[in-house]
């Protein structure tokens, strides 16, 4: 098959400013230089005329680039900021939700070159970069196993699981999916995969990793794997159904992030006799508490700054404690935070009660008990969003209460937690350690995607 193209949503604003750094074609004309497009009563205003859609195509697809001004990165995260970004490929402008959306249309392999440089440092080991190239390609192309992404761009109906809410009087579960995007394939932020075009220069080793794995994807039961990944699993893999819809994937199963391979032979035998080699039942509250309060060995249990600098970009390195971490809130801080983030007035917070945990100890149901209201929320991302000004590192935490009043109102809450992100699929920090220890990219992939195969989809 032929290498497909991907539509990436970059910018969502009432007005978009950009610079065509080389000649671009539109409506039979060649133009370049700074351009401004503005939302105007359901249409696009450009150069004094109104349009339903604009497509700026490069004259030379391999080299021509454009620059988008004031792109927001890290949306709703603690390091959110704006920056100017450059991109290869075409620029498409559409109207969506009473704003303009700027979309980059680009070949998959060019997209991946940027993703690998955006998701982690381009100084990472070759084997880690190769592994990440395969999972990023798989995750992207698993959007539609027919691989004809052009069929999706004008779909009007989002997947209901994209922002699913199952409500009763006392329970509210939500999860957030990439299928919320209906007029482009993926967004450019952490909601999908970080993509920042050619803003961050790719090194030769990144290009080598992309070329060495060109067209390769992970498959299971004849389908491309939905290859999720997160920063740090905290020592144990989470399963898909505890974070998103209730459809378990056989390759995203529970397992300890520990040495199960011989890096030379790729022997898949578990080291069952190794002390501490087994994974406790972290759906059990007592087992989860013991696990979170200790620091068991794991690939991702590292403080090696040299390795971490290979995985984490500068703004990610603002986070220093991630394998095990602690957050503290006063009663006033927590009650105000939950009100602001959820829009629900619980009154004073009496308790945060674990109701259900996944296979990594991550909570996917949490009961918030207040003086005015009690409600069980989930899944993991909704819990993280509710208990932080941006996103709590993970939902694998236990709750401590201090300074409890005679009326039973705690004065202080202490959350002790494990990991960074949802913990499903590849653990980026664990994979970085594996690469440094001599594991090849196929061994890294088969550690995190259990029973999967690596296949070449196109040349």
pLDDT at 88: 94
Spatial CB neighbours of 68, under 8 Å, sequence gap ≥ 6: 10, 11, 16, 17, 18, 84, 85, 86, 87, 91, 102
Q: Are 205 and 234 part of one and the same domain?
A: no
- Per-residue pLDDT tens digits for 381-412: 999 999 998 779 999 999 999 999 999 999 99
Q: Are 179 and 233 part of one and the same domain?
A: no
Domain hosting residue 10, numbered range: 5-214
Q: What is the DSSP letter of 239?
A: P
Q: Are 280 and 165 part of one and the same domain?
A: no
Q: Are 247 and 190 part of one and the same domain?
A: no
pLDDT at 312: 74
Q: Are 232 and 204 part of one and the same domain?
A: no
The whole-angstrom separation of Cα 375 and Cα 357 is 17
Q: In this structure, is residue 113 part of a structural domain?
A: yes
Provide block-wise average pLDDT over 10 residues at a time, the chain (459 residues).
Answer: 90 95 95 97 96 97 93 66 90 96 95 81 85 93 52 29 45 65 82 79 85 97 94 96 94 87 48 54 97 95 87 59 94 98 97 98 98 96 92 95 97 98 96 93 96 94
Q: Are 51 and 96 part of one and the same domain?
A: yes
Q: In this structure, is residue 43 part of a structural domain?
A: yes
pLDDT at 342: 95
- Model pTM above 0.75: yes
Q: Are 342 and 298 part of one and the same domain?
A: yes
Between the CA of residue 364 and those of 5, 328, 380, what are the distances in Å? 35, 21, 5
- Per-residue pLDDT tens digits for 406-449: 999 999 999 999 999 999 999 999 999 999 999 999 999 999 99
pLDDT at 156: 26
Domain count, the chain: 2
Q: In this structure, is residue 309 part of a structural domain?
A: yes
Q: Are 257 and 189 part of one and the same domain?
A: no
Q: Are 310 and 349 part of one and the same domain?
A: yes
Q: Are 10 and 86 part of one and the same domain?
A: yes
Q: Are 328 and 396 part of one and the same domain?
A: yes
Q: Are 330 and 391 part of one and the same domain?
A: yes
Structure-token match 């061994």, residue found: 443
pLDDT at 122: 63
pLDDT at 203: 81
């Amino acid at each position: 098959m032929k290498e497909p193209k991907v539509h990436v949503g970059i910018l969502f604003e009432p007005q978009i400013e950009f610079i065509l750094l080389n000649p671009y074609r539109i409506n039979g004309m060649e133009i370049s230089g700074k351009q401004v497009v503005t939302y105007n009563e359901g249409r696009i205003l450009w150069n004094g005329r109104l349009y339903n859609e604009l497509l700026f195509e490069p004259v030379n697809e391999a080299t021509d680039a454009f620059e988008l001004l004031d792109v927001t990165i890290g949306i709703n995260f603690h390091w959110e900021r704006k920056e100017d970004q450059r991109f290869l490929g075409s620029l498409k402008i559409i109207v969506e939700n009473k704003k303009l959306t700027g979309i980059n249309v680009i070949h998959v392999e060019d997209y991946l070159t940027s993703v690998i440089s955006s998701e982690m440092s381009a100084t990472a080991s070759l084997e880690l970069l190769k592994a990440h190239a395969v999972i990023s390609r798989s995750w992207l192309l698993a959007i539609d196993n027919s691989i004809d992404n052009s069929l999706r761009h004008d779909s009007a109906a989002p997947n209901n699981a994209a922002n699913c809410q199952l409500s009763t009087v006392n329970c509210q579960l939500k999860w957030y999916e990439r299928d919320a995007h209906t007029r482009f394939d993926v967004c450019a932020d952490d909601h999908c995969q970080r993509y920042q075009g050619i803003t961050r220069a790719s090194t030769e080793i990144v290009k080598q990793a992309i070329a060495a794995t060109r067209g390769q994807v992970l498959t299971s039961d004849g389908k491309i794997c939905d290859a999720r990944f997160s920063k740090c699993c905290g020592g144990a893999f989470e399963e898909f159904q505890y974070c998103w819809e209730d459809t378990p994937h056989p390759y995203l199963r529970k397992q300890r992030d520990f040495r199960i391979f011989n890096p030379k032979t790729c022997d898949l035998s578990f080291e069952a006799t190794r002390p501490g080699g087994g994974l406790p039942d972290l759906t059990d509250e007592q087992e989860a508490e013991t696990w979170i309060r200790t620091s068991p060995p794991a690939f991702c249990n590292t403080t090696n700054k040299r390795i971490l600098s290979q995985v984490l970009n500068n703004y990610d390195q603002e986070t220093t404690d991630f394998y095990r971490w602690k957050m503290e809130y006063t009663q006033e801080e927590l009650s105000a935070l939950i009100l602001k983030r959820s829009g629900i007035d619980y009154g004073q917070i009496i308790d945060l009660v674990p109701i259900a945990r996944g296979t990594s100890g991550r909570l996917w149901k949490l009961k918030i008990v207040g003086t005015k209201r009690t409600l069980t929320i989930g899944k993991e991302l909704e819990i993280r969003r509710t208990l932080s000004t941006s996103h709590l590192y993970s939902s694998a935490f236990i709750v401590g209460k201090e300074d409890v009043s005679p009326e039973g109102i705690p004065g202080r809450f202490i959350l002790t937690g494990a990991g960074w992100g949802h913990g499903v699929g590849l653990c980026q920090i664990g994979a970085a350690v594996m690469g440094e220890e001599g594991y090849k990219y196929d061994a890294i992939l088969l550690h995190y995607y259990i029973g999967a195969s690596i296949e070449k989809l196109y040349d």
